[in-house]
Amino acid sequence: MKLKTNSYIVIIVLFLLGAVMPLVLRRYNLFMLTEIIIFALYAVSYNLLLGYAGLLSFGHAMFFGLGAFVAAVSIIHIPGLTLLSAVIISLVITTITGFLIGGLLLRHKGAYFALLTMAFNALFYAVATKWHSVTGGDDGLSISRPEMDLGFASLSVSSVSSFYYLILIVVGASIVFCWYFTHTAMGKTVLLMRENEERMKFLGYNTNISRLILFTFTGAIAGLAGAFYTLHFQFVSISAISIDMTTAVLLMVFVGGTRTFWGPILGAFVYIIFQNYLSDITDRWPLFMGLIFVFMVLYVPGGLSQTIVSIRQWFSGRTGTQDNGPAKAEET
């Protein structure tokens, strides 16, 4: 119980801290922070698959990109569409797609699962590239951000700070929702399934259905992040649905650490900041990102979050019992 209260305090403090950021940060940094929050949601959704369920997917970008493209296409083709309706359309379509693809994949695990997700991603990428009349092909799609319609008033979110607040509230709430999800019975089932699927089956759980629900859920969340990505940059191109986008989220999650819920958020933070500053300094920034990735996987498999947890344990003098699952590592 105490654990949960503490978590709530941290969440509230983070939101408050986020709320004062526009007063402290310059426009450029605020723009970057908005991007970080969006990618944090994407990374969290990926970690629900990788860290919690132990499913390595190489195709998460298909949901992210699909969400991004659906948002752009619907804004372009449906006149007068409000911002939230565009997001909801994306969410619905990615959920359905997640369900259909999940249905085809749910019997596969390990390498087969990874390769099949990669194949699906390649399929989506090919469609996005070739279907020029809808997706713009190599040219991509430019949109202008629609207004928010709150029912009683419409709100302009064209400025950097007002859009930031929207993202902080909506995407922030989605991240909290994901965190809450891990504490529900369904979330726990996923964890147990990773640990010992045979036993779960003997206990009478249909693990295939649990996996399908999880896959659909994470797909929908990634699609949501994708839709906000489009709204943020007001532009989407085939990069959003390419394998690069999957690699990006893999990097974020590995750098941040898969063993905690907040690891991927930290990873997104580090990744975006690195990407922005490294690409200012050198054109070879993917090389450095790659080196960091290799280093992390070889020497710090638990990621940054693991390092922080270890340091904290070292300071508080506790013997470092290694956590073996996100469920136990939510002490923050």
Partner 1 sequence: MKRSIIKSLCFLSAVLILSLPLYAAAADTIKIGATEPLSGTFKDIGERYLDGVVYAAKVINAKGGLLGKKVEVVPIDSELKPDVATRKAQNLIMKDDVRFFCGGTGSSVGAAMSQLAERENVIMYTYGMAAATMTGAKCNRNFFRPCANTDQQSYALAELIARKGYGKVAIIAQDYSFGQEALAAFKKKLAQANPSAKIVAELYHPAGTKDYAPYISQIIAAKPDVIFTPNWGNDLTILLKQGRPMGMSQKIFSYYINDEVTIQALGDDSLMIGNMGAEVYTLSIPTKKNEEFVASFYKDMGYYPTWLRGKAYVATMFWAEAVKKAGTTDVDAVIKAWEGLTYDGPAGLWTMRACDHQAQMPLWYTEIVAKTKFFDHAFEAPAGMAEAKDVSVPCAETGCIMKKK
Tell me the closest approach of the beta carbon of residue 106 to partner 1, in angstroms.
33
Angle between helices 110-130 and 243-256 (to 10 degrees): 140
Going by C-alpha positions, the residue among 170, 175, 167 that lies closest to residue 46 is 175
Q: What gap in Å lies between CA 225 and CA 232, rounded to an integer? A: 10
In this structure, the dihedral spanned by the alpha carbons of residues 249, 236, 81 and 130, taken in order and rounded to 10 degrees, is -110
Tell me the closest approach of the beta carbon of residue 232 to partner 1, in angstroms.
10
Nearer CB in complex with partner 1: 106/168: 168
Task: Mark the segment that binds partner 1 (CB under 8 A) among 75-83, 95-103, 118-126, 136-144.
Answer: 136-144
Task: Mark the segment that binds partner 1 (CB under 8 A) among 26-34, 163-171, 178-186, 192-200.
Answer: 26-34
Task: Mark the segment that binds partner 1 (CB under 8 A) among 3-11, 94-102, 107-115, 178-186.
Answer: 3-11
Q: What gap in Å lies between CA 126 and CA 315, rounded to an integer? A: 51
Q: Which two tokens stand for residue 36?
A: 């970080």
Among 316, 317, 318, 321, binds partner 1 (CB under 8 A): 316
Tell me the closest approach of the beta carbon of residue 276 to partner 1, in angstroms.
7
Among 15, 29, 116, 300, binds partner 1 (CB under 8 A): 29
Nearer CB in complex with partner 1: 85/234: 234
Please tell me whether residue 2 binds partner 1 under the rule CB under 8 A.
Answer: yes
Contact 221, 49 (CB under 8 A): no
What kind and span of H or E run contains 106? Answer: none
Nearer CB in complex with partner 1: 28/177: 28
**How many residues touch partner 1 (CB under 8 A)?**
39
* Angle, CA 265 vertex, CA 326 and CA 208 arms, to 5°: 45
Nearer CB in complex with partner 1: 181/262: 262
Angle between helices 2-24 and 27-47 (to 10 degrees): 150
Number of H helices, E strands in the chain: 14, 4
Q: What gap in Å lies between CA 117 and CA 29, rounded to an integer? A: 35
Contact 219, 34 (CB under 8 A): no
Which residues within the stretch 185-244 sit at the binding site for partner 1 (CB under 8 A)? 233-237, 239-240
Q: Which two tokens stand for residue 288?
A: 């450095």
Task: Mark the segment that binds partner 1 (CB under 8 A) among 41-49, 76-84, 134-142, 185-193.
Answer: 134-142
Q: Which parts of this chain interact with partner 1 (CB under 8 A)?
A: 2, 6, 9-10, 13-14, 17, 25-29, 31-32, 138-140, 142, 144, 160, 233-237, 239-240, 269, 273, 276-277, 279, 283-284, 308, 312, 316, 331-332
